[in-house]
């Protein structure tokens, strides 16, 4: 995608085997496809095929089904509710710090796995009213689901799901395990009393599928929506935190300033509260700049439903259209020194001169990530506590390479050694 943007410009028609792709890389293009004319652009290449792996959850569904799903869970992500969950987020971040502190002087730790544990813990307590610690193998199950979803994208769904390939056998085992987890979570929540007064996402999902006239349809909907919520609800934030920690390690001056701000705002031992979010201003800049360089949602595939024209390029019905935040966030017309890590570029003074759609780490338009506010709160609190207490140093010789899965991960994980902050 970077090569295409550099060589051919902002509006490109690409041939990829039998497919023709339309790649648009300007903020105005992103605004048109994702917001202004969003009704004409459904989920496209890859995500359509990934439906075989993920089902019809909020990530892959369309039309009236998507609107009902979004309406069902939207209240669980309202600003006031997220604010009330700040203490839970702080507690989970503090628990991560303690787990890492226990590894000091004991050799490398895979930070990716630790961050995944953190984000699953936050997800369970804030959105599901459940302790996901009982499902220690969830991370590996989601790896298999992501792997299969990407395989579906690459092969365009050409291979049947029953093909006895090792990858698909692993996926089927993972789906069976996730089905067990979903059924157990639903049964436990349903057995704890009326759902009417509960405001967590799981209770709302259970209540919404009970309205389905067909019980099997309702069970399938609950499975698909909950698996999608579990996957999307932790993966993007874990990705953001992993890349942020990597960039902090590479820039000691940023690490020192983060430590100073955390101590100044939180003192020596206080946990953050919601009101600290705006006080941890430099920490928020660092997180935003990390999401610019390594956006968790790195590509947004769409399919045109009717003919359109963008920047003079005709887009025929059925065309596969790509908006790529990874390349858009590096567009030299909108980002000075785009490959450099410069958190200050997100101050109010510098932000004001850029188009709104030059920075879309959570997507944009009607299908913007529903959990973006919770994810940002989690990232800022976690980075602040880690910066106050610890220094995480990448193992020498380990090459950090982006892995473009459903979110932008680090291939092979991120091994670090743990040291006390000075």
| pLDDT digit string, tens, across residues 310-334 | 999 999 999 999 999 999 999 999 9
- Percent of the chain scored above 90 by pLDDT? 58
What is the spatial distance between Cα 180 and Cα 186, in angstroms, rounded to a whole number?
A: 10
pLDDT of residue 91: 97
Please provide the average confidence, as pLDDT, over all residues in the chain: 88
State the CATH architecture for 37-297+361-420.
Answer: Orthogonal Bundle (1.10)
- Percent of the chain scored above 70 by pLDDT? 93
Note every long-range contact of 411-415, with CB atoms under 8 Å and residues 24 or more positions apart, other chains counting: 413/110, 413/111, 413/112, 413/113, 414/110, 414/111, 414/112, 414/242, 414/245, 414/246, 415/108, 415/109, 415/110, 415/111
pLDDT of residue 188: 80
Parse the chain into domains and list their residue ranges.
37-297+361-420
Q: Is the pLDDT of residue 7 over 90?
A: yes
Q: Average pLDDT for residues 184-191, to the nearest whole number? A: 78
Q: Is the pLDDT of residue 272 over 60?
A: yes
pLDDT of residue 216: 78
Q: Which two tokens stand for residue 354?
A: 């850029």
Q: Residues 277-307: pLDDT tens digits?
A: 999 999 999 999 999 999 999 999 999 999 9
pLDDT of residue 161: 64
């Amino acid at each position: 995608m970077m090569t295409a943007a550099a060589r051919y410009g902002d509006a490109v028609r690409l041939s990829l085997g039998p497919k023709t792709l339309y790649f648009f890389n300007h903020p105005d293009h992103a605004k048109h496809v994702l917001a202004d004319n969003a009704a004409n652009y459904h989920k496209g290449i890859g995500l359509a095929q990934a439906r075989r792996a993920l089902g019809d959850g909020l990530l892959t569904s369309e039309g009236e089904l998507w609107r009902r799903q979004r309406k069902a869970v939207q209240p669980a992500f309202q600003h006031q509710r997220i604010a009330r969950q700040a203490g839970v987020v702080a507690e989970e971040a503090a628990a991560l710090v303690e787990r890492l502190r226990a590894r000091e002087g004991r050799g490398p730790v895979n930070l990716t796995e630790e961050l995944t544990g953190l984000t699953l813990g936050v997800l369970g307590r804030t959105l599901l009213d459940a302790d996901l610690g009982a499902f220690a193998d969830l991370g590996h199950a989601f790896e298999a689901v992501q792997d299969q979803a990407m395989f579906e994208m690459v092969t365009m769904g050409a291979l049947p799901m029953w093909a006895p390939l090792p990858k698909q056998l692993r996926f089927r085992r993972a789906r069976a395990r996730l089905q067990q987890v979903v059924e157990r979570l639903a049964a436990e929540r349903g057995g704890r009393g009326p759902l009417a007064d509960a405001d967590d996402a799981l209770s709302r999902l259970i209540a919404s599928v009970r309205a389905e006239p067909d019980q099997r349809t309702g069970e399938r909907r609950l499975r698909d929506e909950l698996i999608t919520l579990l996957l999307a609800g932790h993966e993007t934030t874990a990705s953001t935190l992993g890349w942020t920690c990597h960039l902090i390690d590479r820039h000691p001056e940023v690490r020192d300033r983060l430590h100073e701000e955390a101590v100044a705002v939180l003192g020596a031992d206080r946990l953050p509260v919601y009101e600290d979010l705006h006080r941890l201003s430099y920490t928020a800049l660092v997180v935003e700049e990390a999401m610019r360089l390594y956006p968790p949602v790195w590509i947004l595939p769409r399919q045109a439903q009717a003919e359109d024209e963008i920047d003079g390029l005709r887009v025929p019905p059925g065309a596969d259209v790509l908006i790529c935040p990874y390349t858009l966030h590096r567009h030299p017309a909108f980002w000075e020194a785009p490959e450099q890590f410069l958190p200050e570029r997100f101050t109010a003074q510098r932000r004001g001169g850029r188009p709104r759609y030059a920075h879309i780490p959570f997507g944009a338009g009607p299908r913007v990530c529903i959990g973006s506010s919770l994810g940002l709160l989690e990232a800022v609190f976690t980075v602040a506590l880690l910066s106050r207490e610890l220094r995480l140093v990448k193992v020498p010789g380990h090459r950090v390479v982006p892995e473009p899965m459903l979110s932008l991960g680090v291939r092979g994980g991120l091994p670090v050694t743990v040291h006390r902050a000075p």
